[in-house]
């Protein structure tokens, strides 16, 4: 199971009723924070999921509305009693940006591990239970879309284990993906496990024009969280000039990638009531939802 909370759905500047775009993903108690604009720690507090279990941050890019909240967040994390290392992912120049931002947070009681991801090609890295994919996007500065996957192994096949006379005491070890040596032979999990089952996938994209690569990157997402800076179709030329998307373009990505659901986010401050323009997205992809601060959902594995 994956839990997701949209901490804020605003772009460019925070509003009294709309915090800046940020996302929390939780799996088995561990959390990943995506982006950290100013005020993100207030949204985390309101969400009620706590701070200490956040063990990674994925930064899409380094415009202020996505990273200006990082120094305060890092200090709050330290004040909450954290001593375990924190991993931060992002495009180049991640190390330079962090060195500048942490000038005002110079003494932290935990280490920060920096993982700079390619701004030239798609990449993936394992972090805990997650397989984190990244994809360069089209924006004024290096910017990444992220994909968070939880893989799911096949079912344990009791009959195959019994046929091979594998004692029950070893079954759980094999189910966890570990090999065992028994009766003079090596036994691997694929000898008793069925084919992999469908896992869970969340894709997050903001501050970009739509691309064919993004459609393939997000294909079969259980949830696509995608920017809709502007709602009106007439704003497409402005979106092109500023390298953002309109609602209908985000919906086209969800439809062509066969996503299960689309959450629109990263709204322009000028977009006062996104709900009135939802039809522009739903006419292309019906399962579109207008993002709201602190909106939550749980994604479960198929039976």
Q: Which two tokens stand for residue 226?
A: 């995608």
CA 258 – CA 254 distance, rounded (Å): 6
Residue 199 to residues 4, 78, 299, 300: CA-CA distances in angstroms? Answer: 15, 33, 10, 9
Q: For residue 97, is it left (φ>0), alpha (ψ between -120 and 50) or beta? A: alpha
Cα–Cα distance between 139 and 281 in angstroms, integer?
A: 22
* Residue 258 pLDDT class (50, 70, 90 cuts): very high
Nearest to 103 by CA among 71, 146, 141: 71
Question: Has 65 been annotated as catalytic?
Answer: yes
Higher-confidence residue of 157 and 21: namely 21
DSSP state letter for 21: P
- Say how many C-beta atoms besides its own lie within 10 A of residue 268's C-beta: 21
* Rounded average pLDDT over 229-256: 96
Give the pTM. Answer: 0.89
Burial class of 84 by CB neighbour count within 10 A (0 to 12, 13 to 18, 19+) = exposed
pLDDT in tens, 211-228: 999 999 999 999 999 999
DSSP per-residue string spanning 92-159: SSHHHHHHHHGGGS---SS-EEEEEPPSSS-EEEEETTEEEEEEE--SSS--EEEEEEEEEPPPB-HH
Burial (CB < 10 A; 0-12, 13-18, 19+), residue 253, is buried
% of the chain residues with pLDDT over 70: 100
Report H helices in the chain. 40-47, 64-67, 70-79, 94-101, 158-163, 171-175, 212-217, 236-242, 247-256, 279-282
- Per the residue annotation, which of 17, 35, 65, 183 is the catalytic one? 65
pLDDT higher than 80, residue 183: no
What tens digit of pLDDT does each residue of 21-73 get? 999 999 988 999 999 999 899 999 999 998 889 999 999 999 999 999 999 99
Strand order in the sheet with 86-90: 112-116, 86-90, 54-58, 30-34, 22-27, 2-8, 295-299
Mean per-residue pLDDT, 262-267: 98
Quick one: how far is CA 103 from the chain centroid?
Answer: 27
Task: Tell whether omega for the bond before 93 is within 30 degrees of 0, i.e. cis.
Answer: yes
- The residues, ordered by sequence, that sit 6+ positions from 24 with a Cβ below 8 Å of its Cβ are 4, 5, 7, 31, 32, 33, 34, 44, 47, 49, 54
Q: What is the pLDDT of residue 303?
A: 67
CA-to-CA distance for 52 and 216, rounded, in angstroms? 34
Alpha carbon distance 220, 212 (integer Å): 15
Q: Which domains does the chain have, with CATH numbers?
A: 2-153+196-298 (3.60.15.10), 155-195 (no CATH)
CA–CA separation, 217 and 202 (whole Å): 11
- Which residues have CB under 8 Å from 241's CB, separation 6+? none
């Amino acid at each position: 199971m994956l839990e997701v909370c949209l901490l804020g759905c605003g772009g460019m500047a925070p509003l009294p009723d709309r915090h800046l775009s940020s996302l929390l993903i939780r799996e088995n108690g561990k959390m990943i924070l995506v982006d950290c604009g100013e005020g993100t720690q207030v949204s985390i507090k309101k969400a009620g999921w706590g701070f200490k279990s956040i063990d990674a941050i994925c930064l899409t890019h380094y415009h202020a509305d996505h990273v200006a909240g990082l120094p305060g967040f890092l200090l709050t994390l330290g004040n909450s009693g954290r001593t375990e290392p924190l991993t931060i992912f992002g495009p180049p120049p991640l190390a330079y940006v962090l060195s500048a931002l942490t000038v005002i947070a110079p003494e932290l009681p935990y280490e920060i591990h920096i993982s700079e991801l390619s701004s030239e090609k798609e990449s993936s890295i394992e972090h805990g239970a997650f397989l984190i994919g990244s994809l360069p996007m089209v924006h004024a500065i290096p910017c990444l879309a992220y994909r968070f996957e939880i893989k799911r192994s096949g079912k344990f096949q009791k009959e195959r284990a019994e046929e091979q006379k594998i004692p029950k005491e070893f079954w759980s070890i094999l189910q966890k993906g570990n090999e065992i040596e028994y009766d003079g032979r090596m036994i691997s999990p694929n000898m008793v496990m069925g084919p992999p089952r469908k896992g869970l996938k969340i894709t997050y994209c903001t501050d970009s024009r739509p691309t064919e690569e993004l459609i393939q990157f997000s294909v079969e997402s259980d949830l696509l969280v995608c920017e809709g800076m502007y709602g009106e179709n007439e704003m497409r030329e402005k979106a092109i000039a500023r390298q953002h998307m309109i609602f209908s373009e985000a919906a086209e990505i969800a439809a062509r990638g066969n996503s299960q659901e689309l959450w629109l986010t990263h709204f322009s401050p000028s977009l006062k009531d996104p709900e009135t323009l939802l039809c522009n997205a739903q006419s292309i992809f019906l399962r579109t939802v207008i993002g709201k601060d602190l909106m939550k959902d749980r994604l479960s594995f198929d039976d």
